[in-house]
Amino acid sequence: MTDVQATDLEITTEDGVADAYLAHPADGRPRPGVLFYQDAYGLRPHLRSMADRLAAAGYTVLVPNVFYRLGRTPVVELPEFIDPAADPTIWERLGPVVASLTPDLIKRDAGAYLQWLADSPLATDGPVAVTGYCMGARLVLRTAAAFPDRVAAAAGFHGGGLATDEPTSPHLGAPDITAELYFGHADNDRSLPPEQIERFEKALTEAGVRHTCEVYPGARHGFTQADTDAYDREADERHWRALLDLLNRTL
């Protein structure tokens, strides 16, 4: 694995300034860019360590605080180990924050994040990859659909609400996606029931999107997040293998 250099930075958007974390190989040579979307718990030490691991594999990884309109990270103060069962107020505080990020805002911000990577000497010219977790998987789909000329690969893990009945459901953007997709679903996930998984795959297939969708048996929603009660080491390592395989193949 490659030595990694990391820094905090700011990205100017149409609506303000987003704080962000950047990780890349320490030699400073340009590498393929990866836009990394957080889960609802936000940009925190665990997500930084995930970005570092991805950068060590040879990528320039940008992790924006997608809730920047509400403040710099941490937007919501959380314990070092996150267990909503032990503190039910966590989602009472997070719910309005997540709901504040509308599809229009996601698309607008994605343009700024992708432009930052396009302008950075640390990222190679050409398309990038996007990966995201929990709510971040929805942002992945919206970004891939809105910027098909910029996104060559898109991955999402334990995503929720990917194919709802809403007129703005993320899966409806499938016809605009040209990237290759990989989605690893949590097993028995209330935020992504079997009917949504079926609707999601059907939309991708009918749109001709190259994709792989897999359910990780026994893995709970949030299985990649080691600082939460949902963490599953075996499923997490499977996610890393799948993600790196997708990036190595497409970038």
- Catalytic pick among 19, 189, 227, 232: 189
The C-alpha atoms of residue 136 and residue 75 are separated, in whole angstroms, by 16
Catalytic-residue membership of 189: yes
The distance in angstroms from the start CA to the end CA of the chain is: 18
d(CA 219, CA 238): 11
Catalytic, 221? Answer yes
Secondary structure of residue 97 in the 3-state scheme: helix
The 3-state secondary structure of 48-88 reads HHHHHHHHHCCCEEEEECCCHHHCCCCCCCCCCCECCCCCC
Judge whether 131 and 51 are in contact, CB under 8 Å.
no
Strands 60-64 and 16-25: antiparallel
**Catalytic annotation present for 134:** yes
DSSP H/E element including 128: strand 128-133
Catalytic residue of the set 46, 185, 211, 221? 221
Looking at 24, 39, 134, 185, which residue is catalytic? 134
Distance, CA of 59 to CA of 116 (rounded, Å): 15
Q: To which residue do tokens 């929805």 refer?
A: 138
Q: State the angle between helix axes of 103-119 and 135-146 in degrees (0 to 180), rounded to the nearest 10.
A: 70
The closest of 168, 200, 194 to 182, measured between CA atoms, is 200
Residue 27 structure tokens: 């030699």
Residue in the structure block whose two tokens are 């957080």? 38
Catalytic residues: 134, 189, 221
